[in-house]
A and B are shown apart, each in its own frame.
Chain A
């Protein structure tokens, strides 16, 4: 059962964006948050630590968010991990690609704390059913 104590990994190549997301998460009650600056680092962290939830950007060097999502879904140990895409990619094609790759929800930047909370709540509601 995932709740406010779940461990969240925030993946974004911009330190400012990671900081914004971490602050918003803290503001809405999620204090157990770690960060990674690209998909490759995120995967290392996901495989090494016990994470419950991933918030990832799409455009990143080395391994973009969509690749990270695909690797997560193809990894037996990680395949059930809820993934929320937070990105500037607002094209329909991107949303469809992300859904086909198994994303749990999708938010376009810039976003509000309320929007992030709403999507996380929605994901948790489905996952905990």
Chain B
């Protein structure tokens, strides 16, 4: 091998080694990013999971409280109906029990006042929407942090942003939802 050929080979080896060193450095940086991301992930995912569990619990509690109020209101309505019936019966012969009409009216007024109170309670209970909304925002925030770190890792490994953007587009849903009318027709067609 001539001296000139030897120099060419040495230059090639130097370039290869330089490229390898850069690759190792980039990989090391990527591994550092992975470590950070895993650390952030271990903090953020349980936090997000806890927030989501809390949202589920809050929604269930709110629905139960609202139903308690509605059930109570329905029972009061039944009672009011019975009282009105008594009032009509009494009005056909008030002399039989002169004080009864006033008693019934008093009870009806109390039911009416309680009904108004119940409606206000329902308004207050609707605040669960705000509370769950706040928790969901925290979950979105946690996911954003992890997403940014994942993008950083991908970039450090040489995956370009254009590629990341194209792969992050939402995938079309596999199943198309149909409404109750279509379901009813389908059931009829299928003989159910």
With contact pairs A90-B177, A108-B180 given, residues A99 and B67 touching in the complex (Cβ less than 8 Å): no
Question: Which residue of A19, A95, A107 is within 8 Å of B186 (Cβ)?
Answer: A95
Which B residues have a C-beta under 8 Å from some C-beta of A? 59-60, 63-64, 67, 71, 175-180, 182-183, 186-187, 190-192
Question: Which residue of A15, A23, A99 is within 8 Å of B71 (Cβ)?
Answer: A23
Are B67 and A115 closer than 8 Å at their CB atoms?
no
A104 and B188 CA atoms in complex are apart in Å by: 11
With contact pairs A23-B71, A106-B192 given, residues A99 and B187 touching in the complex (Cβ less than 8 Å): yes
Q: Looking across the interface, which residue of chain B has its beta carbon closest to that of A16?
A: B63
Contacts of B71 in A (CB 8 A): 23
Are A23 and B175 closer than 8 Å at their CB atoms?
no
Total number of A residues with any Cβ neighbor in B under 8 Å: 22
Are A99 and B183 closer than 8 Å at their CB atoms?
no
Are A106 and B67 closer than 8 Å at their CB atoms?
no
Are B183 and A106 closer than 8 Å at their CB atoms?
yes
* Chain A residues touching B, majority SS: helix
Are B179 and A108 closer than 8 Å at their CB atoms?
yes
Q: Does A1 contact B (CB under 8 A)?
A: no
A16 and B62 CA atoms in complex are apart in Å by: 9
Give the shortest distance, in Å, between B185 (CB) and chain A (any CB).
10
Are B183 and A108 closer than 8 Å at their CB atoms?
yes
Contacts of B179 in A (CB 8 A): 90, 108
Are A14 and B192 closer than 8 Å at their CB atoms?
no
Are B64 and A16 closer than 8 Å at their CB atoms?
yes
Give the shortest distance, in Å, between A72 (CB) and chain B (any CB).
15
A22 and B176 CA atoms in complex are apart in Å by: 30
A28 and B183 CA atoms in complex are apart in Å by: 23
Are A91 and B176 closer than 8 Å at their CB atoms?
yes
Give the shortest distance, in Å, between B68 (CB) and chain A (any CB).
10
Q: Does A25 contact B (CB under 8 A)?
A: no
